[in-house]
Structure 1
Amino acid sequence: MIERTFLSRVRKVLPDLHPAERKLGDLVCNFPGELASYSASELATLAEVSNATVSRFVRRLGYSSYEEARRHVRFEKDSGSRLYLGAIKDVAPHAPRAYAETDMHNVQRTIEAIDESEIEGLTQSLLSARKVWVIGFRVGAPLAQYLQWQLLQVIENIVALPGAGHTMGEHLAALHPTEVVVLFGLRRRVAQMDALLEVIANSGAQLAFITDESMPTRTEATWHFRCATEAPGPLFSHVGVMALLNLMANRVIDAAAETGRARLASIEASNDTLGEL
């Protein structure tokens, strides 16, 4: 049986709670991460209820103790839900400078963590691959499309997945050891990420795995780039990810040399003929 999330447990019992418990339930629905941050007595103070109310509340949710509920919330908080990062006392807006400073720090941390040989190895593999697959879900979907659009200038056989109406099985069945997969695994990750990594590994295709810093290094990946995504606000920052993609695209286009320039010239000629730009 799939374990219910903490919030699904709260929402299920919320209509049947006594007034004090309902007050506590409403608080943790809006700020679930607070249960991970505070002790039972501190949470009782925040909700203006008794310690006994907190104890009854967690038992109604199916937990044997407050600490068990707290561990569950911490696990879900680590999964990347921004709802779990909101704080009751943290209501003041952050200054624009705070976002700029954090983004610049993210770019620096992301790029400094990259080994030069990793980028060069990936560049050559992308250019020599029979086909390149760029896969992204949720926030990774537009990033995958962006990278595919940039690399299409010099790599003819490159596709971004999943497409509208497609299932992954339709494409993964065709994976070949001479191909390269660029996979985005940014929070919050889809449930099938581990299964997807296994299928790619079994295919023999090379894998460039692009994730946030919370993902441990995966041995299935030929290259694993862990991008800094810290942010002062409720959303993750993906500026560091874009810096990595910019580096990748420019290195690949530079390394494509004469073949790449010939393709770029052909693309420009087609643009002129069609009058698209």
Structure 2
Amino acid sequence: MRNPDSFIRRVRGRLHELTAAERRLADFVLEFPGELASYAASELAPLAGVSNATVTRFVQRLGYASYEEARRQVREEKESGSPLFQSATDSRRGGESLLALHLRQSQVNLSETFARLSERHVAAIVKALVAAPQVLIFGSRSSHAYAIYLRWQIIQALPRVTAIPGAGESLGEHLAGLGARDCVIVFGVRRQTRQMATVLEGAARAGAKILFISDQTSPDSALATWSIQCHCAGPGRLDNHVSVMALCDLIATMVLEAAGPQARKRLAAIEQAHGELDEL
């Protein structure tokens, strides 16, 4: 479904190899890949806050013979109509209001994310979650909110779902009990703490199945069983995470359906408990 030789895939596949200056350039071009088609190397460098030499080393590291070769590929991909390759200048053309710009960017992020999902792969993820003795969900910084939200949604159907680590807890208390049938969902949307690598490595050692959810500017994880990249480009300085929340809703909805009668019994018991405890 994804071209391994596309400009975006080349950049993402080498993020872990880059120097600090090259990573700044990578972050910039992943946010606005169409800029390569619009600017010469000497114009792109100051926009990204790097030197001309860094731009040259960067494109060579990606496997291009020259900046012009990389620029030519980006131009071709831009002409294919992908919104990813729209330049920052183009996105603000025509006096579009901030409200309209945010709406359009949200729509683009949703479209780009869901267009790259495989229904077969998502179904396999859901099947594994429903069958797992336990599901652990990790996310730090802003991703912590997604972990809490997804856990809150699917615990309606699956009783053993935990967002880790809880207050006052360590990761070891959860990773120690992992088995091969368990599932671990890791949110890797930028920027993450070093704990993320610990969770991925611990889950992999245990043989657990790993769903890694990241964004288009973050590196892939070779340890993951499944990887999903959400498009989170924002029209301003902040990322737009509409697609991450939509993915959470998709997974939760499919889990509720796939869990079948047991999920309905659990939902009924939860509702009965709400009434008996006068909680709502």
How far has the Cα of 1:195 moved from its partner? 3.8
* Cα distance in 2, alignment partners of residues 174 and 123 from structure 1: 21
* Pairing 1:86-125 to 2, within 5 Å after superposition: 95-125=98-128
In the alignment, which residue of structure 2 is the partner of 1:138?
141
TM-score, normalised relative to structure 1: 0.67
In the alignment, which residue of structure 2 is the partner of 1:9?
none
User: C-alpha offsets along residues 18-58 of structure 1, whole Å, 9 cap, x if unaligned?
Assistant: xxxxxxxxxxxxxxxxx98418xxx9xxxxxxxxxxxxxx9
Q: Secondary structure at the match of 1:38?
A: helix
* Cα distance in 2, alignment partners of residues 71 and 139 from structure 1: 32
Any unmatched runs of 5+ in structure 2?
1-19, 22-42, 59-91
In the alignment, which residue of structure 2 is the partner of 1:273?
276
Would you say 1:199 and 2:202 are equivalent positions? Answer: yes
* Pairing 1:1-277 to 2, within 5 Å after superposition: 37-38=45-46, 67=53, 95-277=98-280
* Cα distance in 2, alignment partners of residues 230 and 71 from structure 1: 25
User: C-alpha offsets along residues 129-185 of structure 1, whole Å, 9 cap, x if unaligned?
Assistant: 010001110011011000000001000011011211222122212221121001100
Any unmatched runs of 5+ in structure 1?
7-34, 44-57, 59-64, 73-89
User: C-alpha offsets along residues 48-85 of structure 1, whole Å, 9 cap, x if unaligned?
Assistant: xxxxxxxxxx9xxxxxx88569989xxxxxxxxxxxxx
* Cα distance in 1, alignment partners of residues 161 and 196 from structure 2: 21
* Cα distance in 1, alignment partners of residues 57 and 145 from structure 2: 33
AA aligned opposite 2:127:
Q
Alignment: residue pair count:
207
Work out which of the two has the higher radius of gyration on C-alpha atoms and give 1 or 2: 1
Change in Cα spacing, 1:194 to 1:71, as seen in structure 2 (3 Å) is farther
TM-score, normalised relative to structure 2: 0.66
Once structures 1 and 2 are overlaid, which stretch shifts more, 248-257 or 196-205?
A: 196-205
Report if aligned partners of 1:36, 1:70 keep a CA contact under 8 Å in 2. Answer: no
Once the two structures are aligned, what percentage of the paired residues are identical? 35
AA aligned opposite 2:236:
G
Coordinate RMSD, CA, aligned: 3.0
AA aligned opposite 2:274:
N
* Cα distance in 2, alignment partners of residues 67 and 170 from structure 1: 47
Report if aligned partners of 2:183, 2:210 keep a CA contact under 8 Å in 1. Answer: yes
